[in-house]
Chain A
Amino acid sequence: MSERNKPLSFDYELIGGTDGAALFHDGDRFDTQNPYRTEGMDSYQEGHKRALAAAARIRPERLPSPDEQKVVRIEDLSLRLAAGFRRRGTQADVLVGGEQ
């Protein structure tokens, strides 16, 4: 077996694949491996694209839900308020109070 065709050791969760690429999820991110690139597959990029499409079909829950997006928005605004505006407001030489 050539190096190119050596099977992968599956350290990742296999969640999708095509005839040219396999898609994995390692807990934090998607990743693709393409050890079995076959004739007919135009390029690694093409395999990657197909694998992502396969993942979207197989594991749609991996995509942020509308509720998760709302939580992200609340978190973002909270961060801007507490760690941004307020922290700056307590530091010297910062003018606060919009109703002067």
Chain B
Amino acid sequence: MSRLFKKAMQLVTGDPNTALKMPKNRPAKKLTERELLQMESEIGAKLFGDVPVGHRREFFCLDEKTWIWYEEWKDQKTGKKASSTIRYEIHDKKILKVQEGARYSYIEGEELDNLLAAVSLYYEQVARHVYGIDPQTGQPIAPMAAV
């Protein structure tokens, strides 16, 4: 795994013991890029269904050209921690899938459809729930009246 990628992962995942949880009643404030990425990833991780018990998943937009899928679990046989990372890079007219072991491939067909669906859902939910922006108009969502 490249140093740049490790750094990017650390930026998002950080120390699991101090991982940021989205408080329900936190005060509105300016957040760091790392905190925003963590909040986005919490939404991204749930887009694909329930995360199996004992697994940890991250799915997030790292930057304008990169999406990251990360999954971590404990191997049943060895008891050791295992993980898998996939990086999706947006290239001119194609999406390059980069996996560990220097495996590269352009995605197409169902996998491309699934990525587009996931990115669209992520955009919709992150816009609303992290940034308070209407994904259609790009305008701030009016705060709900106090009940």
Residues of chain A whose beta carbon lies under 8 Å from any beta carbon of chain B? 67-68, 70-71, 73-75, 77-86, 88-100
Contact = CB atoms under 8 A, between A and B. Distances in A.
Contacts of A94: 30
B126 A99 contact: no
B61 interface: yes
Contacts, number: 108
Q: Is the interface of A mostly helix, strand, loop or mixed?
A: helix
Contact of A98 (B29, B93, B115, B132): B132
Contacts of A89: 30-31, 36, 130-131
Contact of A78 (B31, B64, B133): B64
Interface of B: 22, 24-33, 36-37, 39-40, 61-65, 67, 90, 93-95, 108, 112-113, 115-116, 119-120, 122-123, 126-133, 138, 140-141
A85 B133 contact: yes
B25 A71 contact: no
Given A90-B32, A98-B141, 20 more contacts: A68-B93, A70-B112, A70-B113, A70-B116, A71-B93, A71-B112, A73-B116, A74-B95, A75-B64, A79-B64, A81-B40, A81-B127, A85-B127, A88-B131, A94-B30, A95-B29, A96-B31, A97-B28, A97-B132, A99-B24
Contacts of B94: 67, 71
B123 A100 contact: no
Contact of B36 (A67, A71, A90, A93): A90
Given A78-B61, A96-B30, A85 B126 contact: yes
A68 B130 CA distance: 29
